[in-house]
Amino acid sequence: MTPKAEAVTQDSKDEEAINRQETRLALKRFGRKRWNLIPILQKVQARLGYLPREAMVEIAAYLGIPEIDVYGVVTFYNQFRLNPPGKHSIRVCLGTACHMKGGYITLDAWKRRLDINSGETTADREFDLDTVACVGCCTMAPVTVVDNQPEGKVEPTKVDGILLAFELVREAEKKEAKQ
Amino acid sequence: MKTISLKIDGKQITAREGDNLLWVALDNGIYIPNLCAIRDKPEPMAACRLCFVEMSGQTQPVTACTETVTEGMEVNTRGTEALRLARRGFELLMASNRVDCAHCVRSGSCELQKIAHHLGTKLKSKRLRELRRDLPVDNSHPQIRYDPNRCVLCGRCVWVCQEHLKTGALGFAYRGFERVVTTFKDEPLATTRCDQCLKCVEVCPTGALLPKEKARAEARLRA
Ligand code: FES
Ligand code: FES
């Protein structure tokens, strides 16, 4: 293993241990009843920002239910995330108006540029991508909500523009850090 | 328990009061299409919507798997309305199922072929656009090959797996069209707590879960 790869695995091991610990702490307040599953998942997600594998394993063991049943509930509801939140959140609107105005093309552009699928997070944890159904500003369709800020007329070229702006900010920050 | 008598398709039948109608019919040699019914399961899933029958005292067809038999009941498994509903359900089910009987080792012992034959329909309807999911086949397990594209989500394997292992390896995940029988985190079957009882393979009504040697024979069929 290269030193860098080693550092990465060490990092993810630490993270896993923290996640386990946080999950156990959250579990303390709940009875070991199956019907507590959803409130537990909500609590753990509120602490960790998402539901990592190790958290689901802990929860299943605590409730004495199959791990696949926890996974089944997590994948059923939109409110649960399987991936860590990115620094920036990208929400592509696929509501009726945005759908008509080519929201799917916009979504495809985001997927291609970020190289992830909807519901996923980039490896550097800069961006997470998801869809929403109508954010209430249909006249601006197709809409993408970037860090809670709705952006209108987001055609693929605008996707590039938004990403470029983030890139510039990052570079400026890097420069500043060096000085 | 009290014994009672009822009539199914004109045939006089005695059964125990409170028995499940679907199993009474099947045990008396009267076939009613079904996929999701499990004899030992206390609550029927009633998910496949194929077991429709017409019944005295009911204006609408009912699912046989959710009915219990009563004295003097008269059941018609061949009513046009019931069969129409079953056919429609079957058609929808098959629209997202991969049909390739020529290259499937379950051909001849497949429940889907039996149901199509019974309902007098084709396995694939021409009216509906085919919506395929193209999911990856899990070949990891030493004894089992799992092809989710041939799964009809009847839940029989999930039930036997949970019964056998208590905290089982198989279950349902995702929602709507994406719904699938899978493992925790969609991990390969071989890495789960599966202890190779192979009961899931036994109860699978289609070619989704196959024993490895059959899967290999099938691969030769394709070659
Ligand atoms: S449909 Fe996208 S904002 Fe209304
Ligand atoms: S057997 Fe009755 S609904 Fe499936």
Tens of pLDDT, residue by residue over B114-125, are: 999 999 999 988
pLDDT reading at A5 higher than 80: no
B115: three-class secondary structure by DSSP:
helix
3-state secondary structure of A23: helix
CB contact under 8 Å between A67 and B175, yes or no, is no
Q: What is the mean pLDDT of chain A?
A: 93
Find the angle CA(A126)-CA(A129)-CA(A131) to the nearest 5 degrees: 160
What's the CA-to-centroid distance between B16 and ligand 2, angstroms? 21
Q: Higher pLDDT residue, A111 or A133?
A: A111
For the cut 80, the answer to whether the pLDDT of residue B1 exceeds it is: no
What whole-number distance in Å separates Cα of residue A173 and Cα of residue A175? 5
For residue A106, the CA-to-ligand 2 centroid distance in Å is: 42
Answer whether A75 sits within 8 Å of B175, measured CB to CB: yes
Listed in sequence order, the residues at least 6 apart from B4 whose beta carbon sits closer than 8 Å to its beta carbon are B14, B15, B16, B17, B69, B70, B71, B72
Main-chain dihedrals φ then ψ at residue A7, nearest 5 degrees:
-60, -40
What is the 8-class DSSP label of residue B136? P
Residue A1, pLDDT score: 52
Q: What is the pTM of this model?
A: 0.86
For B169-173, what is the mean pLDDT?
96
pLDDT tens track for A120-134? 999 999 999 999 989
CATH 3.30.70.20 residue window(s) in chain B: 95-222
Q: How far is B193 from chain A (nearest CA, A)?
A: 10
For B91, the enclosing helix (H) or strand (E) is helix B80-95
Model ipTM value: 0.90
* Percent over 90 (pLDDT), chain B: 81
Helices marked H in chain A = 3-27, 37-48, 53-63, 67-76, 96-100, 103-114, 156-178
Q: Which of A18-22, A131-135, B110-114, B218-222 has the lowest mean pLDDT?
A: B218-222
Q: What residues are in contact with ligand 2 under a 6 Å CB criterion? A: B 34-37, 46-51, 63, 65
Residue of chain B whose Cα is closest to the Cα of A83: B185
Question: What CATH topology corresponds to B3-91?
Answer: Ubiquitin-like (UB roll) (3.10.20)
Mean pLDDT on A58-85: 95
If pLDDT is split at 50, 70 and 90, which confidence band does A2 have? low
Write the single-letter amino acid at B144: I
CB contact under 8 A, B182 and A68: yes
Alpha carbon of B119 to ligand 2 centroid (Å): 15
Q: What is the mean pLDDT of residues B200-213?
A: 96
Q: What is the DSSP letter of A121?
A: B
Give CATH 3.10.20.740 domain extents, chain B.
3-91
Tens digits of per-residue pLDDT, A156-175? Answer: 999 999 999 999 999 999 89
Q: What is the DSSP string of B169-216?
A: S-EEES-GGG-EEE-GGG--GGGSS-----HHHHH-SSSSEEEHHHHH
Confidence grade of residue A47 (pLDDT, cut at 50, 70, 90):
very high
User: B45-77 pLDDT, tens per residue?
Assistant: 999 999 999 999 899 999 999 999 999 999 999
Class of domain B95-222: alpha beta
Q: Do A71 and B169 touch (CB under 8 A)?
A: no
Q: A68, B175: Cβ pair inside 8 Å?
A: no
Mean pLDDT, residues B123-140: 90
Q: Which residues of A touch B171 (CB under 8 A)?
A: 66, 68-69, 71-72
**Portion of chain B with pLDDT greater than 70, in percent:** 100
Test site for ligand 1: of A143, A144, A146, A149, most ligand atoms within 8 A of the Cβ: A143
Task: Name the burial class of residue B123, with classes exposed (0-12), middle (13-18) and buried (19+) by CB atoms within 10 angstroms of its CB.
Answer: middle
Give residue A74's pLDDT: 97
Q: What CA–CA distance (Å, rounded) separates B211 from A114? A: 41
B23 CA → ligand 2 middle, Å = 11
Closest ligand 2 atom to residue B51 Cα is 2
Domains along chain A with CATH numbers: 3-76 (1.10.10), 88-178 (3.40.30.10)
Which of B184, B194, B200 to probe by mutation at the A interface, max A CB count within 10 Å?
B184
